[in-house]
């Protein structure tokens, strides 16, 4: 089984099509939606963990591209710079996966890298800018 986190950027004309649903039905792929921002009549973005055989994965990604969807590898990891974190908790309020939480009674922010979907919401929410994106690679090749 092959599994990879990808970011999909939907153009306006692709928003009303069941493209992600078709990945499961037509390409025998499973997916977990980790984050999505899609508004009718506008562009959208979705972070998925997509799993299946390498052949089905490649065919599914090509299907998305054929329908105008830009497919990008996550290409990085969110890291917390502990030296500048003030443990204010602002990042925990926006984290959709629970990767950031407050440990009580210490009132310290805890970051679980394994739960992180790299949605980047914590980066803009962090007042001291302790949450950073560390790039690993660029666009999805495959």
In contact, 81 and 87? CB cutoff 8 Å:
no
- Assess whether pLDDT exceeds 70 at residue 140: no
Helix (H, G, I), strand (E, B) or coil at 127: coil
Q: Measured between alpha carbons, how far is residue 119 from residues 28, 29, 54, 131, 135 in Å?
A: 25, 22, 25, 12, 13
Domain 2-73 and domain 76-135 have a common topology? yes
Q: Break the chain into its structural domains and give their ranges.
A: 2-73, 76-135
What pTM was computed for the model? 0.59
* CATH number at 2-73: 3.30.70.260
Express each pLDDT in 111-135 by its tens digit.
998 888 788 889 999 999 999 988 7
- Assess whether pLDDT exceeds 70 at residue 84: yes
Split at pLDDT 50, 70, 90, the class of 109 is very high
- Assess whether pLDDT exceeds 90 at residue 29: yes
pLDDT of residue 83: 94
- Looking at CATH, the fold of the domain delimited by 76-135 is given as Alpha-Beta Plaits (3.30.70)
Q: How far apart are CA 83 and CA 92, in angstroms?
A: 18
């Amino acid at each position: 089984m092959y599994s990879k986190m990808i970011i999909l950027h939907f153009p306006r004309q692709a928003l009303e099509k069941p493209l992600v649903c078709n990945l499961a039905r037509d390409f025998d792929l499973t997916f977990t939606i980790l984050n999505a921002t899609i508004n009718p009549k506008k562009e959208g973005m979705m972070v998925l963990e997509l799993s299946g055989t390498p052949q089905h994965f490649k065919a599914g990604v090509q299907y998305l591209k054929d329908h105008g969807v830009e497919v990008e590898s996550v290409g990085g990891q969110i890291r917390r710079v502990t030296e500048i974190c003030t443990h204010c908790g602002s990042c925990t309020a926006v984290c959709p996966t629970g990767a950031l939480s407050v440990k009580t009674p210490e009132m310290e922010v805890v970051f679980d890298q394994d739960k992180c979907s790299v949605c980047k919401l914590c980066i803009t929410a962090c007042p001291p800018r302790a949450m950073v994106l560390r790039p690993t690679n660029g666009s999805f090749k495959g």
